């Protein structure tokens, strides 16, 4: 009897732990939505999302330039980081001698542990002047921000992709080699395709980090709330918009910053759904198995 009680209590404690994190998330989302809705009602949903002007002084709240900024920085960063990470993961998982792997892997993981303000500071002191000299303009730009973000998401995508590549059974590799395929053909045609679901997970996580990053982006992106004419012009991200103005926002301006948060949340959920759908679709079409 006593044992049954123990089981019962432990099960309930586990349930509580699982539920509490969900409740906390729901409470936060609820709060953000409640605080943000007045601003969306004030400007109108369409005007808020697609409005081109963000000017709190005149009560103009259009976040479209920031949506473009966030997506642009993220897309550019992924464009650099994904190929680099995947090739790096292939090298670590398949080519690197054990000793080299033992040094490289922790080094790359350390990159993930560096606080974002350090990246931002480095970007501000080194990268912004570099860009100014070599590409013109102020140096604060979408491109500069995406380069910093590339370095920041690289370890995430690389290490998770490497794990995915490493988890592919040795039998596939042996089967391919035994058919007279070269090592590279084996990586390209067998190991990598089988690891794609894991690689997509890695990209999703990298994407989440890229779109949510605030500090480093603020320090190098220039933060002008206007759609940039080129990748060399300054942009403002949704996250930056909140962080830059929260210190002095009151009234509807304060609500508009929470509304920006709603847009950011919506964007992340949208991207997650798309990425998961791609993953799901791949598995369904091939039927059974992994790929």
Partner 1 sequence: MENIFEVKDLNTYFGDSHILKGVNLSVPKNEVTSVIGPSGTGKSVFLRTLNRMNDVISTFRKEGDILLDGQEIYDPKIDAVDLRKRVGMVFQKPNPFPKSIFENVAYGMRVHGDNNKKRLQEKVESSLKGAALWNEVKDKIDESAMSLSGGQQQRLCIARTIAVEPEVILMDEPCSALDPISTTKIEDLIHQLKNDFTIVIVTHNMQQATRVSKYTAFFLEGKVVEKGLTDKIFIEPEDKRTEDYITGRFG
- Give the interface with partner 1 as residue ranges (CB under 8 A): 97, 169, 171-182, 185, 189-190, 193-194, 286-291
Which lies closer to partner 1 via its Cβ, residue 28 or residue 175?
Answer: 175
Q: How far is the CB of 202 from partner 1 (least distance, A)?
A: 19
Q: Which of 131, 127, 125 is nearest to 151 (CA)?
A: 127
CB 277 to partner 1: min, Å: 20
> Is 234 within 8 Å of 166 (Cβ atoms)?
no
The least CB distance from residue 291 to partner 1, in Å, is: 4
- Name which of 104 and 227 has its Cβ closer to partner 1: 104
Distance of CA 128 to the CA centre of its chain: 22
Tokens of residue 159, six digits: 């290490």
Structure tokens belonging to residue 138: 């102020």
Q: How far is the CB of 5 from partner 1 (least distance, A)?
A: 46
CB of 195 to partner 1, least distance (A): 10
Within the chain, strands assigned E span 54-55, 60-61
Residue 31 · residue 256 · CB < 8 Å? no
Nearer residue to partner 1 within complex by CB, 135 or 172: 172
- Which residues have a Cβ under 8 Å from the Cβ of 264 and sit 6 or more positions away? 70, 211, 212, 238, 239, 242
Place of tokens 């997506």: 71
Shortest separation between residue 268's beta carbon and partner 1, angstroms:
31
Asked if residues 223 and 229 have their Cβ atoms less than 8 Å apart, the reply is no
Asked whether 154 and 133 are in contact (CB, 8 A), the reply is no
Question: Of 53 and 189, which CB lies nearer to partner 1 in the complex structure?
Answer: 189
Smallest CA-to-CA distance from 268 within 77, 73, 71, 112 is with: 71
133 or 170: whose CB is closer to partner 1? 170
**CA angle (224, 225, 229) in 5-degree steps:** 75
Token digits for 229?
Answer: 């004419």
Which residue, among 149, 31, 167, 16, has the nearest Cα to 89 in the 3D structure? 167
In the bound state with partner 1, the residue whose beta carbon lies nearer, of 41 and 167, is 167
**Nearer Cβ to partner 1 (68/195):** 195
SS3 61: strand
Q: List the structure tokens of 42.
A: 């004030």
CB of 187 to partner 1, least distance (A): 12
Nearer to partner 1 by Cβ, of 231 and 291: the residue is 291
* Minimum gap (Å) between residue 57 Cβ and partner 1: 59
Distance CA 36, CA 183 (A): 54
């Amino acid at each position: 009897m006593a044992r049954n009680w123990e089981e019962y209590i432990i099960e309930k404690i586990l349930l509580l732990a699982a539920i509490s994190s969900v409740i906390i998330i729901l409470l936060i989302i609820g709060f953000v939505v409640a605080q943000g809705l007045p601003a969306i009602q004030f400007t109108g949903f369409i005007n808020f999302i697609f409005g081109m002007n963000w000017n709190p002084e005149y009560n103009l709240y259009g976040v479209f330039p920031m949506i473009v900024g966030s997506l642009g920085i993220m897309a550019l960063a992924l464009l650099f980081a994904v190929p680099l990470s995947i090739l790096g993961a292939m090298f670590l998982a398949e080519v690197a001698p054990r000793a080299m792997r033992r040094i490289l892997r922790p080094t790359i993981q350390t990159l993930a542990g560096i606080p974002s303000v350090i990246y931002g500071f480095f970007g501000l002191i080194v990268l912004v002047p570099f860009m100014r000299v070599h590409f013109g303009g102020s140096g604060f730009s979408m491109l500069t921000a995406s380069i910093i973000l590339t370095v920041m998401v690289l370890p995430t995508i690389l290490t998770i992709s490497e794990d995915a590549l490493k988890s592919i059974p040795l039998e596939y590799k042996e089967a391919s080699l035994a058919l007279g395929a070269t090592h590279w053909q084996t990586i390209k045609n067998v190991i990598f395709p089988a690891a794609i679901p894991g690689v997509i997970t890695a990209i999703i996580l990298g994407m989440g980090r890229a779109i949510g990053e605030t500090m480093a982006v603020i320090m190098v992106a220039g933060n002008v709330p206007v759609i940039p004419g080129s990748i060399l012009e300054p942009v403002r991200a949704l996250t930056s918009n909140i962080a830059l103005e929260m210190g002095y926002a009151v009234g509807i301006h304060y609500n508009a910053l929470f509304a920006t948060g709603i847009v950011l949340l919506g964007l992340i959920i949208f991207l997650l759904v798309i990425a998961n759908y791609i993953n799901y679709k791949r598995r369904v079409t091939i039927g059974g198995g992994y790929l």
